[in-house]
Amino acid sequence: MKSSVLVIGGSGQIAQAIIAKLLSDLTADSIVVVSRSPRPDSFSDVVWYQSEYDEASIGKLSMQFYDQQRSFEKVFICIGILHDDEVKPEKRLEQLTAAAISHVININTITPVLWLKHLLPVLKRSDLCQVTIFSARVGSIQDNQMGGWYSYRASKAALNTLLKSTAIEYGRRAQHVKLLAFHPGTTDSPLSRPYSANVPNDKLFSPDFVVDRLFAILKTLPNDGELSFLDWQGQPIQW
Ligand SMILES: NC(=O)c1ccc[n+]([C@@H]2O[C@H](COP(=O)([O-])OP(=O)(O)OC[C@H]3O[C@@H](n4cnc5c(N)ncnc54)[C@H](OP(=O)(O)O)[C@@H]3O)[C@@H](O)[C@H]2O)c1
């Protein structure tokens, strides 16, 4: 079987730092990436698939990975939006719309879990597979001191809930898979840039720094069949 690493959402800033690290470490036989965008020239050694993340496409790609006998040792689901042409993080209840909440939840919550649904047969045959799903501290209900950002907070809180149920079911059906809901800290990227002006320099991380931290955490993460919710320091975050 081929030992592969899968990166979903490959055009993102943190995802690109993950791919660059994987390419420099040379630990995986192959690096498989899925993105809505085409492969950049700098990643010519990467197996790259384009997808719009509709369920049919997620199912088809997962089946392809199965037929290719792929055994993923690591999966990174990097998908997530805070703002785009349609939505901005809400400061007040008056800014909240059903369309915005549903748009953000569709991308941040439903899409990652559809991947976990369709990848199950592939992940089942790994000896050990660590799946990192990018969550966020603002998805913690207990940690919410400031309010606001209704759609984004709700999308990550709901993501964590779905991941918890997935971890319980994976514990029965794919015992060698470890799920990590990861908070990278405020990281310089298109997602954070419009909102990071007041973040002190030492609290605004580069994608490379965050990815180094994540890989260090993965080295010591126990394969205990539980969902972990950890920050970039490896510290647990309250649910
Ligand atoms: N940056 C931060 O400060 C920060 C803090 C906490 C948590 N996070 C989380 O970390 C993850 C990566 O964020 P990033 O900072 O690397 O952001 P980014 O550079 O803006 O990357 C955005 C990611 O979301 C995907 N995406 C964007 N629009 C989408 C859409 N309409 N439908 C489906 N997928 C879409 C992209 O995948 P494609 O390759 O398909 O375009 C890409 O993987 C996100 O889950 C984010 O919530 C980031």
Q: Count Cβ atoms below 10 Å from residue 155 Cβ, excluding itself.
A: 29
- 2-231 falls under which CATH superfamily? NAD(P)-binding Rossmann-like Domain (3.40.50.720)
User: d(Cα 29, Cα 200) in Å, to the nearest integer?
Assistant: 39
Predicted confidence (pLDDT) per residue in 164-202, tens digit: 999 999 999 999 999 999 999 999 999 999 999 989 999
Residues with CB under 6 A from ligand 1: 9-15, 35-37, 53, 78-81, 107, 111, 134, 136, 183-184, 186-187, 189-192
Residues 21-61 have pLDDT tens digits of 999 987 788 999 999 999 999 999 999 999 999 999 999 99
* Distance from residue 214's CA to the centre of ligand 1 (Å): 16
Ligand 1 geometric centre to CA of 125 (Å): 28
Task: Please give the Cα distance from 77 to 135 (Å, whole number).
Answer: 9
Instruction: Provide the 3-class DSSP secondary structure of residue 222.
Output: coil
> Would you say residue 76 has pLDDT above 60?
yes
The ligand 1 atom at the shortest distance from the C-alpha of residue 51 is: 40
